[in-house]
Amino acid sequence: MMTMKVSRKEVEHVAFLSRLALSEREAEEFTRQFNQIFKQFEKLNELDTSQVEPTSHVLQMQNVLRQDSVRSSLPIDEVLANAPDREDGYFSVPRIME
Amino acid sequence: MNIYDMTLHQLWKMLHEGDITVQEIYGSFAGRIEEVESKVGAFVNLTPDIAELQVHKAADRWSEGRGVTPLTGLPLAIKDNMSLVGVPNTCSSKMLENYIPPYNATVVEKLAEDGALFIGKTNLDEFAMGSSTETSAFKLTRNPWNLGHVPGGSSGGSAAAVAAGESPAALGSDTGGSIRQPASFCGVVGMKPTYGRVSRYGLVAFAGSLDQIGPITRDVYDCAIMMNALSGHDACDSTSADIPVPDHTTGLGQDIRGLRIGLPGELFNEGIDASIREAIYTAVDLLTGMGAECVEISMPHLEYSMPVYYILATAEAGSNMARYDGVQYGYRASGAKDILDMYIRTRSEGLGTEVKRRIVLGTYVLSSGYYDAFYLKAQKVRTLIKADFDRAFTRVDLLVSPVTPTTAFKAGKRADDPLQMYLSDICTIPANLAGLPAMSVPCGFDNGLPMGMQIIGKPFDETTMLRVAYAYEQSTDWHKRRAVLAG
Amino acid sequence: MKYEVVIGMEIHAQLLTKSKLFCGCSTEFGAEPNSQCCPICLGFPGSLPVMNRKAVDHIITTALALNCTVARESIFARKNYFYPDLPKAYQISQDDQPLGERGYLDIMDGSRRIKIRRIHLEEDAGKLVHIEGEPFSLVDYNRGGASLMEIVTEPDIRSAEEAAAYITELRSILRYIGVCDGNMEEGSLRCEPNISLRLHGAKEFGVKAELKNINSIRAVQRGVAYEIERQSQILDEGGTVIQETRRWDEASGTTISMRSKEEAHDYRYFSEADLVRVVVDDAWLNRMAAALPELPQARRERFIAAYGLPAYDAGVLTESKEIGDFFDKVAAISHDYKVVSNWIMGELMRLLNETGQSLEQSHMTPEVLAEIIALVDKGTINLKSAKEVFEESFHTGKTPSKIVADRGMAQISDEAALSGIIEGVIAANSKVAEDFRAGKEAALGFLVGQVMKETRGQANPAMVNKLLREKL
């Protein structure tokens, strides 16, 4: 398989998807490092996994379900205690245009 | 012997025999913290108000002889990524510097009920992402055995606190070695339990399919005591195993004759320091001498652990870190012109470089065009790695290997080379990928720095691991040594 | 029209569970902002989800009602995106292996079949509040983490009428099986049709627009009709439709383009490690199937076949399960089914509408209605009185016989009692009586009127007629 090449522009785009703006140095560094790291990742292509099931859980557990019963919620002041900004019992954020 | 040099079970015995009071124990550790914390830097926040309240309650339990557990009146340190009501849960990040959780982690709740004393919350790599505790946004933690060296990470604060006599035991969390590696670097015992054995509720997630809370202690007996306290099903964690918990101390002292121990060649390669390999082989000879059968085995897929781990862990981490967006809690950048600007500035200012690196990497491996080649592929190779373990455990009862390729490195030495840092997790990562219990036991010193032996067990068979670890420990005296905090 | 209309429909239905999908917070509507929140639904660091069994039950029930294949093994995934109403910045949802797949719903009396692509379970988001002129928006997380069902159709709908019929039928089913209250105004049932046009016979789909902010079935029809008109005009003029989300504006009766998204979405779905898979075995599936009630379409057909009702009546009576159940119960006692239907479609529905009550909240019972019908049948009361009795029973729960007795409403059908009165009337109006005897038929009407006046309208009119003729 062809080696994936990572460009700085791409790194910055993916950072934007994660809502991060990278500094000059970070963008530079990440691009260089990701190219090295992806080379390591591509070692996985040495393995034929066409007949292999993916593992997302090591435990073969199923149907962990709870009864539909109401438990008390947090008091509103505790809900909002950590809020960087609040208004009238609501969380407040910069205006969103709809 | 100083009180602060003792183990949990030694302290408990003294309480039981009336030779000491809870106040005296707490006083000794508080004094030790006063004395050495400025050198070690193990704690993000100390919690004397909470501890003093707990001292009184524990003292009452002892004096009334009611509800005394193996942890009643004994100090513990908690890694600063587990919720303790009313105390900041910073994850060593500027993002959560002022975040105060309104609820307790299940493990915290259990330990509080047992009557333990919470002395403080320990430093870690930011959001547990790192192997040296150097990515903490707040402070450097030093290795008590040599202050110029790192304590390991991410549970570096917990391991250093235990090694420095600041706490007899501590909680760590382990996603790819974050308990075992610092335990090894600091010459203490650390265990990552089987995935599902200990509730994750209240542990700030790094990678939920790999994370597990576990103890860091001064000896194997204490590790067993802590495992008894921490283990068990929790209805608040869907991945918590609903199976009975054995008494982890029962196997301690039993002989290990006939136990089969496998040595995976892939974890003894030339990337591992010769001195460490030698120390492990010496330990293996000792175990053989006690009647264990040690065989070399091959687990061919272990060499792919690093890429599999860094793909899966960063994918999950990228998603787990997304909630830190300045809306409900935590840091928010000021002066943002709209919501998008607020998100970007908050996250860019609130998170450190290593966390950003992993978020971006994790977003990469999940984004369209990379998902199949990286994420899905890694999940499939994870299946192969797990199958290697399944096969191995048809032949042997336990696996033994080094914990780390080197002893604790010098502070600042690897900070700029993430790939090198990631590669150094090679011995610890496989147990997380397979969900297996694994522990680090002190097995010697190299140039004054501790070395650790890793024991990996079958799922939910921590008792057998503890039995072997105890047998080994009792025939050595590594665990009796204490760091001398000279300059 | 020269274009073929192609519509697919996405429905989000809030499931009727007492607690949220992953935590024990209440789902009650209308509570104080942020009063129904906890570390889990707020996405506080370290909290973990545990799934509500009832929500899974509801999805299985719906999948069965919509003729879907229920997945024997289902998994959950994270859908990643940033928005302030989404506390974790990912929504726990399903991607691969949804709980239900490949079903259908018949509409328009079975003449059209709309295929269902998938049904899945996910968590709801919080609510944003915008205040005119303020530089901030407010967030209320009470709804955040509530259990939500998404039902997606294939692009099988061909007109605004079909779109409305689909949502009407679907809503009726969801209410029948008790999984959603179907309230579109409060947003517990939200529908997002996507509409495109293409030339008849074309293979490729046209560019589609998705509609949001639809708060009633009428709005579905009007919004889709408007969109069809708008797009066909664009195409007629040689223009191109752009792919976008448009907001239905009730006041102006138009759709308005919402600010186009700044980026193409890449939700980066991947498996949710904090939840384990759901495995639906035979026992579970059979239990849900056994509990499935008769569905509207089957009931409509039965009402026509078994009760001989007109199709219109059957449609009205089966729209809600409550009313249909009520009809069945009255019909078990009163066998003139059309009369029963008239009472329910007339008086009962009028009063329910006027009072805004549900059948359960009112005092009306099948026994009461059956008794009123019997009283009319026996001639004890006339139809006018019967309506008064019905209304009083509806409000107070008093039995009809007691109301009739208390208000002295019974018709006088006693021959002896009427004879005396009639004789008096004949005597007092001898001139008129003569006219009748002389063959003036109309004179009888006057005499009947006098008798009714004497009895304050309670005389049985048929009997009065008969006795008058005899005595004259």
DSSP C243-300: PEEEEEETTTTEEEEPPPPSS------EE-TTS-BEE--HHHHHHHHHTPPPPHHHHH
User: Using a CB-CB distance cutoff of 8 angstroms, which residues of chain C are in contact with residue A14?
Assistant: none
Mutation target to probe the B interface, by most B beta carbons within 10 A, among A52, A58, A85 is A58
B453-476 residues labelled b (16+ CB within 10 A) or e (exposed): bbbbbbbbbbbbbbbbbbbbbeee
* Span of B107-121, C31-45, C261-275 with lowest mean pLDDT: C261-275
Interface probe with C: pick from A16, A19, A66, most Cβ of C within 10 Å: A66
Q: Is the Cβ of A21 closer than 8 Å to some Cβ of chain C?
A: no
Q: B206 phi and psi, to 5 degrees?
A: -100, -60
C296-307 vs C321-333: helix crossing angle, rounded to 10: 20
Measure the CA–CA gap between C292 and B339, rounded to whole angstroms: 46
Q: How many residues does chain B have?
A: 487
Mutation choice for B interface testing from A13, A39, A55, A63 by most B CBs within 10 A: A55
For residue A49, is it within any domain?
A: no
Q: In what order do the strands lie in the sheet with C270-271?
A: C90-93, C77-80, C270-271
How far is Cα C180 from Cα C176, in angstroms, rounded to an integer? 9
Tell me the count of A-C CB pairs closer than 8 A: 124
Cβ atoms C22, C39 nearer than 8 A: no
Q: Please provide the CATH number assigned to the domain covering C415-471.
A: 1.10.10.410
Tell me whether residue A73 is in a domain: no
C89 contact residues in B (CB cutoff 8 A) = 319, 322-323, 325
- Chain A residue closest to C139 (CA)? A91
- In this prediction, residues C90-105 reach a mean pLDDT of 96
| pLDDT tens figures, C438-469 | 888 888 888 888 887 877 777 777 778 888 88
Beta pairing, strands C112-123 & C147-153: antiparallel
Residues 6+ apart with CB under 8 A from A10: none
Q: Which of C184, C174, C396, C182 is nearest to C293 (CA)?
A: C174
pLDDT value of position C263: 52
Q: Where are the alpha helices (DSSP H) in B424-461?
A: 429-434
Of the pLDDT bands very low, low, confident and very high (cuts 50, 70, 90), residue B486 is low
Taking Cα atoms as reference points, which of C121, C116, C8, C102 lies closest to residue C55? C121
Number of domains composing chain A: 1
DSSP class of residue A3? P
**A residues 22..61 contacting B (CB < 8 A):** 22, 26, 30, 33-34, 36-37, 40-41, 43-45, 47, 49, 52-59, 61
C212: three-class secondary structure by DSSP: strand
- Residues of B forming the active site: 79, 154, 178
Q: Return phi, psi of residue B427, to 5°.
A: -80, -25
Across B53-62, C127-136, C150-159, C189-198, least confident range: C127-136
Residue B113 phi, psi (nearest 5): -65, -35
Residue A32 belongs to what domain range? 8-44
How far apart CA C157 and CA C150 sit, in angstroms, is 18
CA-derived radius of gyration, chain C? 30
- Percentage above 70 pLDDT, chain B: 99
Which residues, including other chains, have CB under 8 Å from residue C374's CB and lie 6 or more apart?
C334
Q: Is residue A31 assigned to a domain?
A: yes
Contact C419, C467 (CB under 8 A): yes
* Contact (CB<8Å) B386/A41: no
Q: Hey, is the C-beta of A76 within 8 angstroms of any chain B C-beta?
A: no
Whether the pLDDT of residue C261 is over 70: the answer is no
By the CB < 8 Å criterion, does A82 face chain B?
yes
Q: What is the pLDDT of residue A1?
A: 45
For C424, residues 6+ apart whose C-beta sits below 8 A from its C-beta are C454
Q: Is the pLDDT of residue B237 over 90?
A: yes
B375-403 pLDDT, tens digit each: 999 999 999 999 999 999 999 999 999 99
The Cα B47–Cα B58 span in angstroms is 16
Output the six-digit token pair for B332. Answer: 């928010």
Q: Give the strands of the sheet with C3-14, arranged side by side.
A: C69-70, C100-107, C112-123, C147-153, C3-14, C189-199, C209-212, C244-249, C254-257
Per-residue confidence band for B368, with pLDDT thresholds at 50, 70 and 90: confident
Pick the range with the lowest mean pLDDT from A16-30, B172-186, C262-276, C449-463: C449-463
Strand partners, C1: none
What ranges in B17-155 are assigned the alpha helix state H?
22-40, 48-64, 106-114
Residue C260 pLDDT exceeds 70? no
Q: Which of A32-36, B184-188, B227-231 has the lowest mean pLDDT?
A: A32-36
- Asked whether the beta carbons of C10 and C150 are under 8 A apart, the reply is yes
- Contact status of C47 with chain B (Cβ, < 8 Å): yes
Helix/strand/coil percent split, chain B, to 5: 45, 15, 40
Question: Touching check for C49 and chain B: CB below 8 Å?
Answer: yes
How far apart are the C-alpha atoms of B447 and C191, rounded to whole Å? 70
Residue B350's pLDDT band (boundaries 50, 70, 90)?
Answer: very high
Q: Per the CB < 8 Å rule, is C266 touching A74?
A: no
- CA dihedral for C95, C98, C103, C105, sign (positive or negative): negative
Domain boundary assignment for chain C: 3-284, 307-407, 415-471
Model confidence over B38-61: pLDDT tens digits?
Answer: 999 999 999 999 999 999 999 999
Residue B82 has pLDDT above 80, yes or no: yes
Q: Is A72 contained in some domain?
A: no
User: What per-residue confidence (pLDDT) applies to C135?
Assistant: 87
**Dist. CA B188–CA B5, nearest whole Å:** 12
B256 close to A (CB below 8 A): no
Verify whether the Cβ–Cβ distance C44 to B329 is below 8 Å.
Answer: yes
pLDDT at residue B80 is higher than 60? yes
Q: pLDDT per residue over C12-44, tens digit each?
A: 999 999 999 999 999 998 899 999 999 999 999
Q: C287 CB contacts (<8 Å, ≥6 apart)? A: none
Q: What is the CATH number of the domain that holds A12?
A: 1.10.20
Q: Grade residue C262 by pLDDT with cuts at 50, 70 and 90.
A: very low
Provide the pLDDT for residue C2.
86
Q: To 10 degrees, what angle do helices C217-236 and C160-176 make?
A: 150
- The answer, for A58 touching chain C at a CB cutoff of 8 Å, is no
> How far is the C-alpha of C317 from the C-alpha of C319, rounded, in Å?
6
Helix axes C442-454, C430-437, angle to 10 degrees: 140
Does residue A39 form part of some domain?
Answer: yes
Alpha helices in B115-219, H assignment, sequence order: 156-163, 180-186
Residue B413: the pLDDT is 81
Question: Which of C45, A38, C275 is closest to B83 using CA atoms?
Answer: C45
State the average pLDDT over residues B227-232: 98
Using the Cα atoms of residue B346, residue B349, residue B352 and residue B356 in order, give the sign of their dihedral. positive
pLDDT at B100: 98
Give me the pLDDT at residue C264, please: 62
User: Taking Cα atoms as reference points, which of B88, B61, B75 lies closest to residue B24?
Assistant: B75
Is the pLDDT confidence value at C122 over 50? yes
Q: What is the mean pLDDT of residues C76-104?
A: 96
Instruction: Indicate the residue of C26, C38, C134 with minimum beta-carbon distance to A74.
Output: C38
A 61-80: CB under 8 A from C: 61-74, 76, 79-80
Residue B487 has pLDDT above 60, yes or no: no
Q: Is residue A27 part of a domain?
A: yes
Instruction: HSE, CB side, 13 Å, CA atoms: give it for residue C343.
Output: 30
Q: Do C87 and B375 touch (CB under 8 A)?
A: no
Amino acid (one-letter) located at B443: C
d(CA B126, nearest CA chain C) in Å: 14
A interface mutation test: which of C256, C277, C280 has the most A CBs within 10 A? Answer: C277
Q: Between chains, do A94 and C135 touch, taking CB under 8 Å as contact?
A: yes
- In tens, the pLDDT along A87-96 reads 999 999 998 8
Q: Give the Cα-Cα-Cα angle B470, B472, B478 (nearest 5 degrees).
A: 95
φ/ψ (deg, to 5) at B225: -60, -45
Distance CA C209, CA C223 (A): 11
Residues 220-239, chain B, touching A (beta carbon < 8 A): 235, 238-239
Beta strand B438-446 with B189-192 is antiparallel
Residue C39 contacts B where some CB pair is shorter than 8 Å: yes
Which candidate, C281, C268, C273, places its Cα nearest to that of C95? C268
- Which ipTM score applies to this complex? 0.96
Residue whose structure tokens are 């009702």: C309
- Give the minimum alpha-carbon distance from A68 to chain C in angstroms, rounded to a whole number: 6
**Is A33 within a domain?**
yes
Is some CB atom of chain C closer than 8 A to the CB atom of A10? Answer: no
Least trusted range by pLDDT, from B16-25, B53-62, B351-360, C374-383: C374-383
From the list B105, B315, B306, the residue with the least C-alpha distance to B207 is B315
- The C-alpha of B422 sits at a distance from chain A's nearest C-alpha, in angstroms, of 9
